[in-house]
């Protein structure tokens, strides 16, 4: 028997959990939430410091991989996406960055009418409970817990912020408030010492609603169309293929890889791509899977002269102690992601808002948790966040189990390569400020011998990694390459929407979990026909002389 629901939401991730909560909260509309993964109850998901484990575990991760990237020495790049309740918010680094206000104004300029900063800010506020209370920029009544970790107890965090200020950049107490540009404490989605994924924040509190059905281990095959109308979804569970119908709408929230792939599996997309995969073209929409964007970063690593780094906590005895303290008290080093200070700067004069981001880590290690070298160390994760290069997601066949072809074309554009040269040179200048003198040892990576443009380019090609922020592959707008309109409706198909990071027109300067949640909050009001929240008039702090200078004042100390 075919079951019928008002709404079917595909993907219980950063957006899908929000939608399941909001669309079912009136108690009247029936909502089906389909997720290919399973439970997120694992201690390794819930304990913030264990973030490298779910991120690298196939049980919780789709384990996507790019094609050989032609501008990165033909390396295949790891592209983890969450396959579990909470989606990527259950396997990510828990960093909470909204993006710069100008990023959202840029969305509107790209054709996403109504998605400028004034209209987005109220939904950022609606989503969160900021540990320090509410103001014009922050909310204190939302499901999402946001705090600053362990309050920068390690002295390296403060030293990094001070070094940024000494280098001529501003300090910012809240980069998600009036001023992103500068150096300050990092924010994270953690509550009471626990990872506060969208599963914990939005889904778990409402699982008992009689009008909400959550089905896990469901592999969606396609959206069912009748003419130019979406009427349901076909999915497989435990070897059985089922079809469910939607009286109102189908909403894809499968992420920037999954959503365009599902559209293509359903016969919606570029004609040549679908025909090559042997899929009947039911609706030609050339932008599906195009415009793919991501952030790259590399680790700028130094030895530490004092015995204060977290490299001393990587032994099994220390790990057991940290784990026990977290298990019983939800406190200590287990209750943070360890990225507790950060920076946002502009790469050069003439760049209007920050395009380079720093995550500071008082240790030298990789995302997989492996130690970088023996002894104490620290590192900056640094990357250029407004890339010009564009890639794609293309279906390979009609088999939903076969991963799509993913090509980012990282660093294809010269402007992106130039920006990474800026990342190397500006980072060195910051770390060589007086505040870091007592901690800064030898430069391990890139190494002082990496200095010319050619040497930096070669290093970046070999060492740069994805920051795991794929987006923009079903962009929102009204031009011929747009996939959804500003109401999140798929162009030319009735009763079908996409709501996740794939609909971003351009990638923001920051991590993507926060803006994805915001998009889902705002889309939920649009879907329900609610009046949008009143736009904000909160001012945004910008460097008025951005055209003439790269930072607000001269560095206090020249590059050593």
15 annotated binding-site participant: yes
Q: How many CB atoms lie within 10 A of CB 435?
A: 21
35 annotated binding-site participant: yes
CA–CA gap between residue 61 and residue 113 (Å, rounded): 34
Backbone angles phi, psi at 2, to 5 degrees: -80, 125
**123 SS3 class:** helix
503 annotated binding-site participant: no
CB 35 within 8 Å of CB 214: yes
242 annotated binding-site participant: no
**559 SS3 class:** coil
29 annotated binding-site participant: yes
11 annotated binding-site participant: yes
Options 261, 381, 469, 491, the catalytic residue? 469
Residue appearing with tokens 């070999």: 462
25 annotated binding-site participant: yes
76 annotated binding-site participant: no
456 annotated binding-site participant: no
435 annotated binding-site participant: no
Paired tokens of 111: 């054709």
SS3 annotation, 195-262: ECCHHHHHHHHHCCCCCEEEECCCEEEEEEEECCEEEEEEEEECCEEEEEEEEEEEEECCHHHHHHHH
CB 70 within 8 Å of CB 83: no
CA–CA gap between residue 482 and residue 203 (Å, rounded): 30
**Which whole-number Å values give the CA distances from 164 to 193, 296, 430, in the listed order?**
29, 21, 6
CA–CA gap between residue 435 and residue 429 (Å, rounded): 12
510 annotated binding-site participant: no
Q: Is position 469 annotated as part of the catalytic site?
A: yes
Residue appearing with tokens 């189908």: 250
162 annotated binding-site participant: no
206 annotated binding-site participant: no
536 annotated binding-site participant: no
128 annotated binding-site participant: no
Q: Annotated binding site: which residue ranges?
A: 6-35, 84, 92-95, 220
Could you list the residues known to form a binding site for FAD, using ranges: 6-35, 84, 92-95, 220
Which residues does the annotation mark as catalytic? 469
């Amino acid at each position: 028997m075919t079951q019928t629901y008002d709404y079917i939401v595909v993907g219980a991730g950063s957006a899908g959990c929000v939608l399941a909560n909001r669309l079912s909260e009136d108690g009247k509309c029936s909502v089906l939430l389909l997720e290919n993964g399973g439970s997120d109850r694992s201690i390794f998901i819930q304990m913030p410091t264990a973030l490298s484990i779910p991120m690298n575990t196939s049980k919780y991760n789709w384990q996507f991989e790019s094609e050989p990237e032609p501008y990165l020495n033909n390396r295949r790049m790891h592209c983890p996406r969450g396959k579990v309740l909470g989606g990527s918010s259950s396997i990510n680094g828990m960093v909470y960055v909204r993006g710069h206000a100008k990023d959202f104004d840029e969305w509107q300029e790209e054709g996403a009418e109504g998605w400028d900063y004034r209209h987005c800010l109220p939904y950022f506020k609606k989503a969160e409970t900021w540990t320090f209370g509410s103001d014009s920029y922050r909310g204190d009544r939302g499901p999402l817990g946001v705090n600053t970790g362990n309050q920068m107890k390690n002295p390296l965090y403060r030293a990094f912020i001070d070094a940024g200020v000494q280098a001529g950049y501003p300090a910012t107490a809240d980069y998600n408030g009036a001023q992103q540009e500068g150096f300050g404490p990092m924010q994270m989605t953690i509550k009471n010492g626990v990872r506060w994924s969208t599963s914990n924040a939005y889904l778990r509190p409402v699982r008992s609603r009689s009008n909400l059905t959550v089905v896990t281990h469901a592999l969606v095959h396609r959206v069912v169309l009748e003419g130019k109308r979406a009427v349901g979804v076909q999915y497989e569970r435990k070897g059985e293929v089922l079809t469910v119908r939607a009286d109102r709408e189908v909403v894809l929230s499968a992420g920037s890889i999954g959503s365009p792939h599902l559209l293509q599996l359903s016969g919606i997309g570029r004609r040549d791509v679908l025909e090559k995969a042997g899929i009947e073209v039911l609706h030609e929409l050339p932008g599906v899977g195009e415009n793919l964007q991501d952030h790259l970063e590399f680790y700028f690593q130094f030895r530490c002269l004092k015995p204060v780094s977290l490299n001393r906590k990587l032994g099994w005895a220390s790990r057991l102690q940290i784990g026990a303290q977290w298990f019983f008290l939800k406190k200590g080093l287990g209750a943070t992601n360890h990225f507790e200070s950060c920076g946002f700067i502009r790469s050069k004069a003439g760049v209007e808002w920050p395009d380079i981001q720093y995550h500071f880590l008082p240790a030298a290690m990789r995302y997989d948790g492996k130690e970088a070298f023996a002894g104490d160390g620290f590192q900056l994760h640094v990357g250029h966040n407004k890339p010009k290069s564009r890639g794609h997601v293309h279906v390979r066949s009609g088999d939903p189990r076969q991963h799509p072809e993913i090509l980012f074309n990282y660093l294809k554009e010269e402007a992106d390569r130039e920006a990474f040269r800026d990342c190397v040179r500006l980072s060195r200048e910051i770390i060589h400020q007086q505040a870091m003198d007592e901690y800064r040892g030898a430069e391990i990576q890139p190494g002082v011998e990496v200095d010319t443009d050619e040497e930096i380019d070669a290093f970046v090609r070999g060492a740069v990694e994805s920051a795991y922020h794929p987006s923009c592959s079903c962009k929102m707008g009204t031009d011929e390459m747009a996939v959804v309109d500003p109401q999140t409706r798929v162009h030319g198909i009735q009763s079908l929407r996409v709501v996740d990071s794939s609909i971003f027109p351009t990638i923001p300067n920051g991590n993507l979990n926060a803006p994805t949640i915001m998009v889902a909050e705002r889309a939920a009001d649009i879907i329900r026909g609610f009046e949008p929240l009143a736009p904000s008039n909160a001012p945004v702090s910008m460097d008025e002389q951005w055209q003439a200078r790269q930072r607000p004042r001269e560095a206090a100390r020249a590059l050593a």
